[in-house]
Amino acid sequence: MNHFNRRDLLRFGAAFPLAMHAIAARADEKQASMKPPKRIIFICNSLGFYEPNFFPVGSGDLETSSYLKGMAKKDKMTVLQNLFHPGMETSNHDSEKSFLTGAAKPESPNFVNTISVDQILAEQMGGGTRFPFLSFSIYDRGWGCSWNNRGVAIPPMHDESAIFEMLFGKQDLAAKRRQLETDQQIIRSLNRDVQRLRETGDIGKIDSYRTVVAELEASFRREQFWLETEKPLVPNSLSDDQEFIFSAKVRNLLELAKLAFQTDSTRVITLSLDWIYGAIKVPGATGGWHTLSHHGGKPDVLEKLCRIETDIIKHLNEFLVALDGIKEGDGTLLDHTTVVIGSNFGDSSNHTCNNLPTIVAGGGYRHQSHTVLEKPTPLCNLWLELLHKHDIDVGEFGTSQSDQHLLPT
């Protein structure tokens, strides 16, 4: 069965590279854990972090940041100060759309986004795993930080149990196999119609469909290929806390990210910590996150906001600790995972996009604890550097000027 299907797979040209990738990847794994794969995760805290609590006061000393002093992995992280996205002066919350793309003026009515950095990485690094990338958010909003090469939002997944099910749940293999075969037949028929429509219809319209259906077909083939490999068996470690739903959600999404990396189910993850109007509850504070973020310097409001941000930092810290607790090759999972923690907002009260709070952790870099850039520097310089670090040879990305080697290896 196994063999037969693989041959079947190879009949279709487009699936060939995919199959090779996967086989090669597995061969890699067989050569023991000599060279663990690189992974990367982008975490966008959409309402920023209160600057005075986030950035260290004394340059270079993370102990002087009230948020970061409790981080356990200070030696494996670098706080970058003075990064910004050019062209976001009036972008407000829309700037979240451009967090990983750097496309200017996301607030303008005819804005079209560009590909996000995680998606470029996924194209390169996603071949050998069951999922090329994963994209999570807290709420069902339909968009997060991941945008495809046509600038269309990739809807993130937000339901933890659905994500767990997708990653580790059992499936009825026979039924799934049948369904995938039928779906591919359906696509072949639809492609016949598409060919015909291209001759008579609105080419732009038909081609937009043709592109998407080709992507879907590729993902069906990928799914078909991976049906031959059992999903990793992982006990469900998600929290069911109904009191602090928000906290539990942040924790669970990070837990899922950890499990996905640990089981090598994917190597690229994007997590959008998005917001809605309305109250959330974390230990010690209940309130509208967004309303509180316009704190205006009022101490009582700030106190609540900081409790929320402290709670998020706490989960991020636990995430880093957990990654660092997993041995892999000659290091830990954290050493092989670049963790980017950032935001599209610098000052949450004014909702401005300067001096973006940014942390890079793990990834095996020689961390600098705290790097203050001399002048405002495009965040895209960092994105460019990360692309280079993952062997993607591009000259520029978004508004990048140069690779500044902020993360020495």
Tell me if residue 95 falls in helix, strand or coil: helix
- Looking at residue 379, what DSSP letter applies? H
Tokens of 297: 């310097």
What's the CA gap between 315 and 251, in Å, rounded?
6
Stretch that binds other proteins, among 35-43, 255-263, 290-298, 353-361 (CB under 8 A): 290-298
Residue from 74, 130, 258, 290 in contact with other proteins (CB under 8 A): 290
Q: Is 243 in the site for other proteins (CB under 8 A)?
A: yes
Q: How far is CA 133 from the centre of its chain?
A: 8
Residue 182 interacts with other proteins (CB under 8 A): yes or no? yes
Spatial distance between the Cα atoms of 363 and 60, rounded to a whole number of angstroms: 20
All residues at 6 or more sequence positions from 308 whose CB lies less than 8 Å from its CB, including other chains:
280, 282, 285, 287, 289, 292
**Distance between CA atoms of residues 147 and 272, nearest Å:** 12
- Return the amino acid letter for 401: Q
The only residue of 202, 230, 303, 330 in contact with other proteins, by rule CB under 8 A: 202
Residue 142 touches other proteins, criterion: CB under 8 A: yes
**Residue 178 interacting with other proteins (CB under 8 A):** no
Alpha helices in 201-294 (DSSP H): 203-227, 245-262, 289-293
Number of residues forming the site for other proteins (CB under 8 A): 63
303 scored as a contact of other proteins (CB under 8 A): no
Residue 395 gets the label, from left (phi > 0), alpha (psi -120 to 50) or beta, of alpha
State the nearest-atom distance from the C-beta of 191 to other proteins, in Å.
8
For other proteins, the closer of residues 13 and 109 by Cβ is 109
Would you count residue 149 as binding other proteins (CB under 8 A)? Answer: no
E-only strand ranges, 223-321: 268-273, 279-282, 285-288
Residues 6+ apart with CB under 8 A from 85: 95, 98, 99, 102, 104, 344, 353, 356, 378, 379, 380, 399
- The Cα diameter of the chain in Å comes to 68
Select from 10-18, 276-284, 307-315, 326-334 the region that touches other proteins (CB under 8 A).
276-284
Cα–Cα distance, 343 to 353 (Å, whole number)? 9
Q: Which stretch binds other proteins (CB under 8 A): 125-133, 327-335, 347-355, 361-369?
A: 347-355
d(C-alpha 298, C-alpha 321), whole Å: 34
Near other proteins by CB under 8 A: residue from 119, 247, 252, 352: 352
Neighbouring C-alpha atoms within 13 Å toward the C-beta of 58: 5
- The Cα–Cα gap between 48 and 349 comes to 9
Q: What angle do CA 301, 307, 311 make, to 5 degrees?
A: 150
**28: contact with other proteins by CB under 8 A:** no
Interface pick for other proteins out of 33, 179, 236, 401 (rule CB under 8 A): 179
Q: Is 199 in the site for other proteins (CB under 8 A)?
A: no
Task: Give the residue carrying structure tokens 């149990």.
Answer: 161
SS3 state at 72:
coil
Contact with other proteins (CB under 8 A) among 59, 219, 229, 402: 219
If one asks whether residue 94 binds other proteins (CB under 8 A), the answer comes out as: yes
CB 67 within 8 Å of CB 313: yes
89 near other proteins, rule: CB under 8 A: yes
Could you say which of 9, 19, 25, 190 contacts other proteins (CB under 8 A)? Answer: 190
> Is residue 272 a contact residue for other proteins (CB under 8 A)?
no
Residue closer to other proteins (CB basis): 153 or 326:
153
Report the residue from 9, 19, 25, 197 that binds other proteins according to the rule CB under 8 A: 197
Is residue 186 at the binding interface for other proteins, with CB under 8 A as the rule? Answer: yes
176 forms part of the interface with other proteins (CB under 8 A): no
* Interface with other proteins (CB under 8 A), residue from 165, 183, 228, 318: 183
DSSP E strand stretches across 348-388:
358-362, 369-378
Q: Does 221 bind other proteins (CB under 8 A)?
A: no
Contacting range for other proteins; rule: CB under 8 A; set: 265-273, 292-300, 322-330, 356-364:
292-300
Q: Which residues bind other proteins (CB under 8 A)?
A: 89-90, 94, 97, 107, 109-110, 112, 140-143, 148, 150-155, 179, 182-183, 185-186, 189-190, 192-194, 196-197, 200-202, 204-206, 208-209, 212-213, 215-216, 219, 242-243, 276-279, 286-288, 290-291, 294, 296-298, 349-352
